Structure 1
Amino acid sequence: MQLSHLVDFFLHPVYFEQPDQLRKGRLFVRGCLLTSLFSTSYVWLSVLFEYQKGVYFMVMNVVGFLLLPLLAKTRLPIALLGNLYVTLGATAVLVLTYFSGGIWSAIYPWIVSIPLLALLVVNKFSGAVWGGIALACMVYFGVLDMRGIALPVEYNVEMKTWWFTTILTGLLLIILFVGFVFEVVQTGALRELESKNAKLEEQKTTIASQSEALEKLIEEKDYIIRILAHDLRNPLSNIDGLADMMESKRYVGQEDEFLGMVKRTANNALHLIERVLEMDKADQRESIDMDPVDVAEVLQELIESINETARRKDIAIKLNNAARSTSVVGERVYVLQIFENLLSNAIKFSKGGTKVSITVANTNSSLMVKVADEGPGVRPEEEDRLFKKFSKLSSRPTGEESSAGLGLSLVKRYVELLGGKIWHEGGAAIGATFAVELPLTGRPDRG
């Protein structure tokens, strides 16, 4: 059985609930066991020096220090047990000093060990009290000698040299022992403190990480709400424009066609809500289910639904499809959102009497779509902010439309989910041009 297990065997479970009490309890038990072992050697020395009272008191110490740990099984305060330990040792030292010559006894210097043990095993207050008692006893023996009162010497004085050599050597050993125990206790306490500090730092790091994650989650929640508000505005505006057209007498007979457009736009809005909410999971989607999507068909549908909004601002939408293949790998709702945002922005930032051009072409195994307007364009110093969330540039909508600064960040997110690229082509003399490149379902037919 290891010493640590033996020590813990003597401790009541209540000590394990408080680290400080557990440390003191273990120190008390160790002190009792080691002092008992140390006292055993002095039993034999007392026999050797024919010191009868030494034999009695050292046997008392051995038995007493072996029995004291059993009291730690009770709920007695550790301070009380520690003081019983010191009392037992102090009694033996003082009595044996008295009966071996007082101030001229080899045991006399042992009195200094009494407050040291109290300080180590109990606390500073107990050490101070026992220090006072030890000082008083040392002065008492000195006063007796100054008054000429001779104290009995009951050991074999013919062995006086050996007596002093062994007893004082024992004092040195016990002082070294006390110092060693103190160092071990201090080292253990420092290690425990370092361990607690390390755990505290780890907890602080965890809390900081959780706080950062919470802030990010709140930001993402806010972002989702803004996404919905932004991307639902376009289809609702289109539905409003189609409703105006249905009310107009100029389009009599086209109600069914407009109704179909309204239905498609509403379905797209509902589908968008489902997809955006899906992105609000703990880890946003890193991939999506890929299916063939005809971009030309999507663009034509968008032009039809957004044409009324453009007509109100007297803006013409021109589509130039030079691609041999317009089927890309992606998801229809994301493809629709990409180009609806780009077209809506182009119309939003263009003045009346201008045009928005859509160019479709093939490049290797990709489809490139460029949306160009004749608005104020993008300042060179603002290009690095184009695709950032909630970033608003100096350009303002020309028809008092609102802008949340989310459109292009959403477009970039959708394009990346589809495995494509998007960029702004700077250097144009007028307007802004955005290019989107998406992977084709197959290499374009070279004809």
Structure 2
Amino acid sequence: MNLREASFTKTTIAAADSPRHLLKKILDTTRECMLVIDADMRIAASNAAARDAFGRGLDLEGRRLSEIVRDLDLHEAFRRAVFSQTQSEVRLELNTADRRRFDVHVAPLDLDGNAHAIGFFYETTKIERLESIRQEFLSNISHELRTPLTSILAFVETLEDGAIDDDENNRRFLGVIRRNAERMHSLIADILELSMIESGKVSVEPRRIALTELVDEIFASLGSKAETREVELFNDIGRSVTVLADRVRLEQMLVNLVDNAIKFNRVGGSVTVTHERLSSLDLISVADAGEGIMPEQQTRIFERFYRADRARSREMGGTGLGLAIVKHLAKLHGGEVTVKSILTEGSTFQIQLPRKD
């Protein structure tokens, strides 16, 4: 090795061991977004995660911090780190469609003898969304349980205060207690069922099913409820029609849909179940003649605890989980459930099952 080669090798090793080179290695192996800012508030270094979050994959080096993130608290945190050598914690929410959120730790950094600041962006978007869902779920559960519990306690106190000896009303009071207890039981059963489905603990075993016979059985079990509301039930499915599905789970889906169609129908209305076969799908439709669902509500109707008509749903004894269960069971079959509705004319819920002839 001659002197020039030795000098070149030494320079290369020194460059490889330089603070900037080491910093680049650290940045490239870090999953969290990281930015290094110089005294001019320009980006001196960044990693791939930061480029994806703030620059849509484009290079950020040399650009002003204000060009990619418009947040006064964040800018001040970097300024304090550079000029006052002070660490800071900042909450950041990007003004974008997905509203990404970050906990940001900003600290001073000496780089080649020059004052810089480094920011570590820990994304909390998913955690906060999950926490929001958890809080909403607990709030809904509390509300749904409080209503029947309040009714049960009120009637129990009435009975304890002497109504137990009131032959005209004690049976009625006990009936109210039973109905509310059954409502709580149904709610808890639906919560457990939905939890098992969402956690992947429920599987389906598709078999060939005679669809019209299944619908007849469902009509028979819900017939008295339909008679009470003077709702007619029509099974317009051909006797030879079969579909590939898990019988228990398909029955569960159809019971939920037919039961809802009866509950939210108009007095003297009708519920009609039909079947249509496409090249790759079996379509099972449940149509009612109710008041219909507002367009803005149709996009949320399959959410847990969402009700288009809360007062009527509680009056009819719904838990607000039935359609969410139907949606998940349809997906377990590799299918989907949809709704079409026209105000004052009625709604049609459709289960789409893949065909495998």
The structure carrying a bigger helix percent of its residues is 1
The structure carrying a bigger strand percent of its residues is 2
Q: For the superposition of Structure 1 and Structure 2, which TM-score range results when normalised by the shorter chain?
A: 0.3 to 0.5
TM-score normalised by the chain length of structure 2: 0.47
Pick the structure with greater CA Rg: 1
